Amino acid sequence: MAQETDASYKLLFSHPELVRDLVRGFIPDRWLRQLDFSTLQKVPCSFVTDDLRQRLSDVVWRVRADSEWVYLYLLIEFQSSAPYFMAVRIANYVSLLYQDLVNGKEVQPHQQLPPVLPIVIYTGKRRWGVPTDLSRMIPVMKGRAARYRLQSAFKLIDQSRYPKSKLARMRNLFAAVVQMEQCSTPKMLSNLVEHVREFMENNCDLRRTFALWMCATVRRNMPEMKLPDVETLEDLKMEISMGVERWTEEVRQKGLEEGRVEGRVEGRVEGREEGSTSAMRMAVLDVLTDRFGSVPDVVVKHIEAAEMQRLRRMHIRALHIDSPYELGDGD
């Protein structure tokens, strides 16, 4: 699953528009925002060490800086986990990039090496809790020897730290990516697809890539939707609508079947009706638990007091609300 996630992000960041919006919208630096992003060029990111071992980074871009052809290299790494020695890995990637530039004679003796901005995009659900600066992992030596401690840090983009309200106000492709990772309801997903379509009307290739990436993300975060591969945002929106209907019907049929089985065991009509009601209550609770992690006691009591007709309305509503407390708002 982690490899599929990283591969889908590599596909997404093969487009310069994503790199541009990532830097402009999520790295607070005036100089970076003034770069000429029309000069973005993708750089091969498969490096071979002197002992012929191959090492891979994820995505490397370069962009023209200031008025001269001095390149700022953007080394972008995608992580769905937080390995403790990530700073060591990034330092190694930067060293290999420089070695590759030297071996390819893109940098001549007595020339300065181009600056490199390492960026790690973290897609995990838990907060990132490991060092982003290699120097903090190395004890400080005493005296003049302290100056030789290795310095290497990377910019962390932890998607879980950005509030939904702020992201919704941004007209930014990478903001849409983060919103997609935080998306928890089919309604939010459908609205986001429509939002993305609005500012990618004339870029068919990017729209197709976004549709493929969104499908992969939905299957990872909302497996119950059972979306097939689609290549247009229009088809994706239609499949989302159909997926909600399929999911609702499957859960309803499961609840009815569990009710019939329980009714036969009891051998009484009353037992069958009660079993069906209990199954529907469980179905509503299952949807809320899957989407929100836990269900407040006050909401549980609200569900337990409801009869079958009201439970059916709750079950449909549970697929679209943004908080379990909203379950009874439509009654």
Domain boundaries, the chain: 2-182, 186-331
pLDDT digits (tens, 9 = 90+) for 276-298: 677 778 778 877 876 777 788 88
String of b and e for 116-131 (b: at least 16 CB within 10 Å)? bbbbbbbbbeeebeeb
For residue 270, what pLDDT is reported? Answer: 43
Least confident of 5-9, 31-35, 245-249, 257-261: 257-261
pLDDT digits (tens, 9 = 90+) for 183-225: 777 777 888 888 888 777 678 888 888 888 888 888 877 777 7
Q: What is the average pLDDT across 135-156? A: 88
Q: What is the average pLDDT across 306-315? A: 83
**CA separation, residue 291 to residues 53, 75, 331 (Å):** 44, 34, 21
**Greater pLDDT, 46 or 283:** 283
Least confident of 45-54, 58-67, 144-153, 318-327: 45-54
**CA separation, residue 193 to residues 189, 202, 211, 240 (Å):** 6, 16, 9, 10
Look at residue 18 and tell me whether its pLDDT is greater than 90. yes
For residue 91, what pLDDT is reported? Answer: 93
For residue 157, what pLDDT is reported? Answer: 93
For residue 52, what pLDDT is reported? Answer: 42
For residue 261, what pLDDT is reported? Answer: 45
- Could you tell me the two tokens for 138? 């190395």
For residue 46, what pLDDT is reported? Answer: 67
pLDDT band at 175 (very low <50, low <70, confident <90, very high): very high
**Greater pLDDT, 326 or 247:** 326
Q: What is the average pLDDT across 261-287? A: 59
For residue 269, what pLDDT is reported? Answer: 37
Going through 59-185 in order, the beta strands assigned E by DSSP cover 59-65, 70-79, 116-122, 155-158
Per-chain mean pLDDT for the chain: 79
**Greater pLDDT, 82 or 2:** 82
**Greater pLDDT, 2 or 13:** 13
Look at residue 268 and tell me whether its pLDDT is greater than 60. no
| Largest CA-CA distance found in the chain, in angstroms, rounded | 91
Look at residue 50 and tell me whether its pLDDT is greater than 70. no
For residue 156, what pLDDT is reported? Answer: 94
pLDDT digits (tens, 9 = 90+) for 60-116: 999 988 766 667 888 888 888 899 999 999 999 899 889 888 888 888 898 889 999
For residue 323, what pLDDT is reported? Answer: 80
Query: Which amino acid is located at 223 in the chain?
Result: P
43 beta partners: 60
> Residue 273 is inside which H or E element, if any?
helix 269-292
Pairing of strands 59-65, 54-56: unpaired
pLDDT band at 246 (very low <50, low <70, confident <90, very high): low
The pTM for the full model equals 0.69
- What is the spatial distance between Cα 189 and Cα 225, in angstroms, rounded to a whole number? 11
Look at residue 51 and tell me whether its pLDDT is greater than 50. no
What single DSSP character describes residue 143? G
Classify residue 320 by burial, with Cβ atoms within 10 Å: 0-12, 13-18, 19+.
Answer: middle
